Amino acid sequence: MRRRALVTATVTMLSLVAFTPASSALPRESSDPDPTQRIAVKNIKWEPCFQQPPAPEYARLECAALKAPLDWKKPNGKKITLHISRLKALKQAKGVVFTNPGGPGGPGWATPLMFIDGERNRLLDTMDIIGIDVRGTGYSTQATCKNVYGPYLEPRNRSAANTKRLLAEAKKFAKACQNSGNKRLPSKYVTTAQTVYDLEWIRRNLKTSDNRKVNKIHWVGYSAGTWLGAYYARKWPKRTGRFVLDSVVDFTSSWRVSDDSQPKAFQKRFGTFARWAAEYNALYGLGASQQAVVNRYERIRAAIAKSGKIRITDANGMSEDLYATELDSLIGQAIYSKNNFIPLAQTLDFLSAVTLEAQARSRSQRLALAVDPDAGQTPTYFNITCNDTAFGRTPAKHAAWTKKNGARYPLAGYAQIGNPCSQWKRSSGQLKLPRPVGRGLPKLLLIQSVGDPATPYGEAVRARKRYKNSRLVTVRNEGDHAIYGRGNACVDNTVDRYLIDGVYPKRDSSCQGLPLPVPGGANARTAQQFDPLQRLQELGELTRN
């Protein structure tokens, strides 16, 4: 999934670019020498991923490591490691499907397992499914940012002094990533262009599970994986099979333009949650109307901000601090999926009691920045989004824009001032790729829910318009992020018919979304004893894409 990353508070954003229509003829693959052809292919050695699989059916997942150039402009130079996984087709393999969970920078080695969980049996029978930890993340060579610690700052406070401090922290974080001292994988080599060459290199080294050469790859990419998949298709059209892009980042534009659209979408999705919570006010006590629930959140947040932070302690004595900006991030991450509405309501109910019943405690006002248990994911996220496309807005203009946008969409809008891309020094001479726009390009199938907060619907509409050889499946009455393989039969069947059978839709179409959960109902999560600290930790992990 497309992630929102916590930095002083979070998200990432970029400027509209002028587009030149591409030729209507099928674009040729670059006439430049293909650097992936200048290295001898390797014999990939597969071994079980798990010593003790968490589920018996996961035992089939195999893992392997493959060396790749640090810089594809110098294919015989220094090397990095790419970590990949494979679920072999249970029957004869019709082809190979590469997968990407988004991010950008989400570890992807376990992504094939979601098709086991989602019971995509025809896909599992007929395709080898490949998971990839892209360069910078997971078990591949990781990107790093130096540890940066700074004062806790409130992004809603836009006094001249605090704005200056907020921008200084973003600049410090940008430098921490770009000057990380990581000689194994410097920041400038973590880009979509380098990753696209990695994908082609993996394809060249792969064989199907029945030992055939892989001439084309198929693709299922979620969120930021739609950007990556589109760029591969544009670069290597002859190697592009059936590509499914689910929850579309507008790959025809830039990262900042894409991210600029997020705050409005997150605020709208939060409104959906608030209306739902109001229906169950008797259960959660958050308010009897949408506005009352939003007001309750604002009161909780204000109480936390006034205290600096609060400490949550569970029955076992384990404690965790929560800041106001982390509450924003927690909510934003939770509303990616309606399955999180019940635990989110429980968490807000708990926090309401803690903060509004005078139990909040004052704590020191320091916050560790850029901390992420999946160490490579946050650095990879910012390296790609900041390196790929120019930011196009000065820090001062960015501060003014986020102040205006935050006033309208406070859940995510104010936090964008912490985006280090506004302070990033892009390297010259980087590897470049043609932008995926125009006619004559390989076919793409786009899947998009209308209420998605992380990749707003307009992103998919723009991409569909500019990338002519595509079809858009609109999922109506739906706000979840990442749809295929999650139980929507209409979407699942449409994708399977294309991905497995090669039946490409003749026109754009639509599917109905799934209903919101009913507490205690058949479509709710299995009830568990509510542990507030555990809920905070679980919700805080939801951006693990």
pLDDT tens-place string over residues 461-471: 999 999 999 99
pLDDT score recorded for residue 522: 67
pLDDT score recorded for residue 171: 95
Distance between CA atoms of residues 188 and 193, nearest Å = 11
Give the number of C-alpha atoms closer than 13 A to the C-alpha of residue 464, restricted to the C-beta side: 21
In this structure, which amino acid lies at residue 441? Answer: L
Q: Which residues sit opposite 471 in a β-bridge? A: 445
- Average pLDDT of 271-297? 97
Structural domain boundaries, residue 139:
35-143+182-259+431-511
Cα–Cα distances in angstroms (integers) from residue 545 to residues 205, 425, 518, 521, in the given order = 26, 27, 26, 27
Distance between CA atoms of residues 79 and 81, nearest Å = 7
The domain that contains 450 carries what CATH number?
A: 3.40.50.1820
**244 located within any domain:** yes
**387 located within any domain:** no
Number of residues that make up the chain: 545
Q: Taking Cα atoms as reference points, which of 268, 191, 231 lies closest to residue 456?
A: 268
Domain count, the chain: 1
Radius of gyration of the chain (CA): 23
**372 located within any domain:** no
**345 located within any domain:** no
**69 located within any domain:** yes
pLDDT single digits (tens) 67-105? 999 999 999 999 999 999 999 999 999 999 999 999 999
Residue 260 vs residue 18, higher pLDDT: 260
- DSSP per position, 87-101: E--SS---EEEEEE-
**210 located within any domain:** yes
pLDDT band at 529 (very low <50, low <70, confident <90, very high): very low
**352 located within any domain:** no
Cα–Cα distances in angstroms (integers) from residue 439 to residues 40, 228, 541, in the given order = 34, 19, 40
Which pTM value belongs to this model? 0.89
pLDDT score recorded for residue 56: 92
| Angle CA 29–35–39, to nearest 5 | 130
In this structure, which amino acid lies at residue 339? Answer: N
Q: Is the model's pLDDT at 476 over the cut of 80?
A: yes
Distance between CA atoms of residues 170 and 176, nearest Å = 10
Print the SS3 string covering 162-174: HHHHHHHHHHHHH
Which tokens go with 43? 């014999």
pLDDT score recorded for residue 336: 96
Backbone angles phi, psi at 352, to 5 degrees: -60, -45
The answer to whether 140 and 189 are in contact (CB under 8 A) is no
Distance between CA atoms of residues 420 and 268, nearest Å = 25
Give Dmax (Cα) for the chain.
Answer: 68
- Average pLDDT of 110-117? 94
pLDDT band at 311 (very low <50, low <70, confident <90, very high): confident
pLDDT score recorded for residue 533: 58
pLDDT single digits (tens) 327-384? 999 999 999 999 999 999 999 999 998 888 644 333 222 222 222 325 688 899 999 9
In this structure, which amino acid lies at residue 133? Answer: D
Cα–Cα distances in angstroms (integers) from residue 535 to residues 273, 285, 341, 412, 529, in the given order = 17, 18, 12, 21, 11
pLDDT score recorded for residue 471: 98
**198 located within any domain:** yes
Distance between CA atoms of residues 323 and 479, nearest Å = 27
